[in-house]
């Protein structure tokens, strides 16, 4: 009997210890999992589109399906730049960041990424070639250095030739050239214009030998200068069109290129020694291209394509093939406990067609 009591006592003791251990361990495990995940979002259409307080887009749809699959609640926190993202992930202000976040070696050294859920790349945005040009841009080639040189030389010769006509007519007794120097020179320029345009001397027949020599000589010089002027203007306009067109990556050197600072595009341009200037937002980059302040904007292809097909339609166009492949992943704090679960869900979405379904909705047949 005593042995039975002793065994029962041991059983109760073990059960009590187990209950106490459970009471201690389970709350700690739950405490390690946030009640509500704080999800940083980087606005950039079509990955993240902000409409007032509401957010939509490819990354938003993808994340919400991931969250539903894992049964977690969350709240969105807009973030603006890479430094803010890294700081907030490291101090625990954010649990995960979504948007057009390219996975690069430099970023991998500062934070963790999930498996990529979209394969992006870089492309080039330029002003629409069919866009109506300003009057200044149309006539800009006419003030090129070569054209100006021809014009200056022609003007000097015109002044000399007008004075030759003035002396011939003034001292030849022509009453039309006896009204003072300025009026006589003006009349001489008119005679010169008629010679160049019609091959005739003023409004009369050239009867004297000297007038005939003047008529033939000045007409030939006029034709020569007109030909030179036309050739210089045509050459300048042709060169401007050839040097001004951007069809792909190889055309960027020597052009005014812009991109956002601390991005994969900036890293690519720096590595390939292509000069560029940085802007602080997508809107600023779009405006510079549309207003002619920049020749090209290099950035992620899906973002540029979306803008060119929507708000920028008719104003800008995307040119050239996609280059510098860039996987897009979700950003996490280094060694985040969330990574394994997110990776598994992303791989599952590739297998069950969820990834294709979301991609087709936002990118059509080009979904990655």
Which tokens go with 44? 């950039």
> Tokens 């209950």 identify what position?
19
Q: What is the mean pLDDT of residues 213-238?
A: 66
- Does the structure show a pLDDT above 50 at 24? no
Which tokens go with 6? 């002793």
- Does the structure show a pLDDT above 50 at 132? no
pLDDT score, position 266:
93
- CA distance from start to end of the chain: 74
Which tokens go with 154? 């022609």
Q: What angle do CA 221, 147, 247 make, to 5 degrees?
A: 140
**Worst-scoring range by mean pLDDT, 36-45, 114-123, 168-177?**
168-177
- Does the structure show a pLDDT above 50 at 130? no
- If one compares 211 and 15, the residue with the highest pLDDT of the two is 211
- Does the structure show a pLDDT above 80 at 235? no
319 CB neighbour count, 10 Å cutoff: 19
Mean per-residue pLDDT of the chain: 78
25 CB neighbour count, 10 Å cutoff: 10
- Does the structure show a pLDDT above 60 at 144? no
- If one compares 89 and 237, the residue with the highest pLDDT of the two is 89
Q: How far apart are CA 266 and CA 335, in angstroms?
A: 27
- If one compares 361 and 141, the residue with the highest pLDDT of the two is 361
- Does the structure show a pLDDT above 50 at 156? yes
Domains of the chain are: 33-117+329-366 (3.40.190.10), 136-244 (1.10.287.70), 246-325 (3.40.190.10)
pTM of structure: 0.59
Q: What are phi and psi of 204, to 5 degrees?
A: -135, 165
Residues in the chain: 368
Q: Given pLDDT bands bounded at 50, 70 and 90, which one contains residue 6?
A: low
Q: Given pLDDT bands bounded at 50, 70 and 90, which one contains residue 146?
A: low
Summarize pLDDT for 280-330 with one digit per residue, the tens: 999 999 999 999 999 999 999 999 999 998 899 999 999 999 999 999 999
């Amino acid at each position: 009997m005593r042995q039975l009591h002793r065994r029962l006592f041991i059983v109760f003791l073990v059960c009590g210890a187990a209950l106490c251990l459970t009471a201690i361990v389970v709350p700690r495990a739950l405490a390690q999992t946030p009640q509500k995940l704080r999800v940083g979002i980087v606005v950039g259409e079509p990955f993240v589109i902000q409409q007032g307080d509401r957010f939509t887009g490819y990354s938003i749809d993808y994340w919400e399906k991931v969250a539903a699959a894992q049964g977690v609640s969350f709240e969105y926190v807009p973030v603006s730049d890479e430094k803010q993202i890294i700081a907030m992930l490291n101090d625990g202000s954010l649990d995960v960041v979504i948007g057009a976040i390219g996975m690069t070696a430099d970023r991998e050294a500062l934070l963790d990424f999930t498996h990529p859920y979209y394969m992006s790349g870089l492309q080039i945005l330029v002003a629409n070639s069919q866009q109506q040009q300003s009057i200044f841009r149309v006539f800009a080639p006419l003030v090129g250095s070569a054209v100006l040189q021809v014009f200056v030389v022609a003007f000097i010769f015109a002044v000399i030739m007008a004075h030759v006509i003035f002396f011939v007519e003034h001292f030849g007794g022509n009453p039309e050239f006896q009204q003072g120097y300025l009026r006589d020179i003006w009349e001489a320029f008119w005679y010169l214009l008629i010679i160049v345009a019609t091959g005739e001397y003023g409004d009369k027949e050239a009867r004297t030998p000297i007038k005939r020599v003047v008529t033939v000589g000045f007409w030939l010089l006029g034709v020569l200068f007109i030909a030179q002027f036309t050739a210089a203007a045509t050459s300048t306009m042709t060169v401007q069109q050839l040097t001004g067109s951007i069809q792909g990556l190889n055309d960027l050197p020597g052009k005014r290129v812009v991109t956002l600072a601390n991005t994969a595009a900036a890293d690519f341009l720096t590595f390939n020694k292509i000069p560029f200037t940085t802007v602080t937002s997508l809107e600023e980059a779009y405006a510079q291209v549309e207003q002619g302040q920049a020749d090209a904007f290099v950035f992620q292809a899906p973002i540029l394509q979306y803008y060119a097909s929507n708000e920028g339609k008719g104003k800008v166009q995307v040119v050239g093939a996609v280059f510098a492949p860039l996987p897009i992943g979700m950003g996490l704090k280094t060694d985040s406990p969330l990574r394994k679960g997110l990776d598994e869900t992303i791989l599952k979405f590739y297998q069950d067609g969820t990834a294709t379904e979301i991609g087709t909705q936002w990118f059509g047949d080009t979904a990655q």
